[in-house]
Amino acid sequence: MNAPLPGRPSPWGAWWLAIRPRTMPLAITPVLVGTSLAWHETGGFQPGPLLAALLAAALIQAGTNLHNDAGDFARGADTPDRLGPRRATAEGWLTLRQVTTGAYLCFGIALLVGIYLARVGGWPIVALGIASLAAGLAYTGGIRPIAYSALGELFVFLFFGLAAVGGSYYLQTGRVSAASLLAGAALGLLAAAVLVVNNYRDFDTDRRAGKRTLAVVVGREGAQRLYVWMLALPFPAALAVTDTPWVWAVGLTAPSAFNLVRCFQRESPGPVFNGILAATARLQLHFGLLFSLGLLLPRW
């Protein structure tokens, strides 16, 4: 096999970059939080549904990322002047057909995993699974893609927050509670904040490409205010889920949230926001892990 050209990843490396592994915690962490809340309330959990939910979430996330990679290229949105990370299709590392096929393969395997989850959770999980797959396809596909509208953050809040946490909790307990939805709101806001950073960074190129993202609609100052609230509200939401003192551990991420808000407001738009985006994703991961740990530890 020929060695990859300088600056060009190997074929496997191209696929690895195309699925955007750094975004995987956004899909996986809510499943852990929902399962941990179920453990907190019932004292046990079912490992089968947990593992299947983690796999399905990762596959849908990978499929959505691949579909987005291919869709943006096909629509001409990935121009040479974009500020985000390099994209596999736009760079020519993989063909449009390969990336599209990879997306559908991920969605197909997720559907097979969903059959098992449907047997566990019944029709509510069937409905949630179909909605998740449809949303993943509609994010960049169709006549009016979600990613090209102001609904992207709402999509992330619903599916990476309420649905992911609430659905995981339901698989373990057979019900949905106010606490699970509140926990889902906390995780969903942090996940949506990642998209706010992405769209703020791409404000100019998105506007030229005809994208009407939420950042484009509300303007840069409006996006800054949204980011502040999305990083602030998860803390009181998490503390309201339960009275166990261990959930106060999420406060350990407060300094990171404060620094991110300060950087977001002070830095000029440019490649520096790639770092802010990655740090916001890490904040969601650390917040979710500490939240889960606080729910798993025994009460005093």
pLDDT of residue 89: 82
Contact, 296 vs 243, CB < 8 A? no
Residue 203 lies in a domain: yes
Residue 257: domain span: 11-296
pLDDT reading at 85 higher than 70: no
Q: What is the mean pLDDT of residues 73-100?
A: 73
Q: What is the mean pLDDT of residues 136-143?
A: 74
For residue 287, give the nearest of 65, 26, 56, 20 by alpha carbon: 26
Which residues contact residue 229 at a Cβ distance below 8 angstroms, ignoring those fewer than 6 apart? Answer: 189
d(CA 248, CA 232): 14
Q: What percent of the chain has pLDDT over 70?
A: 92
Query: Model confidence over 249-265: pLDDT tens digits?
Result: 999 999 999 999 999 99
Residue 142 lies in a domain: yes
pLDDT of residue 135: 84
Total domains in the chain come to 1
pLDDT of residue 241: 95
Query: Model confidence over 178-199: pLDDT tens digits?
Result: 999 999 999 999 999 999 998 9
pLDDT of residue 78: 56
pLDDT of residue 167: 95
Residue 43 lies in a domain: yes
Residue 5 lies in a domain: no
What is this structure's pTM? 0.89
Residue 215 lies in a domain: yes
Q: How many CB atoms lie within 10 A of CB 297?
A: 15
Residue 79 lies in a domain: yes
Confidence of residue 212 (pLDDT cuts 50, 70, 90): confident
Looking up residue 51, the CATH number of its domain turns out to be 1.10.600
Residue 3 lies in a domain: no
Q: At what angle do helices 11-18 and 47-74 cross, to 10 degrees?
A: 100
Q: Phi and psi at residue 75, in whole multiples of 5°?
A: -90, 0
Contact, 159 vs 135, CB < 8 A? yes
258 versus 86: the higher-pLDDT residue is: 258
Residue 6 lies in a domain: no
pLDDT of residue 300: 56
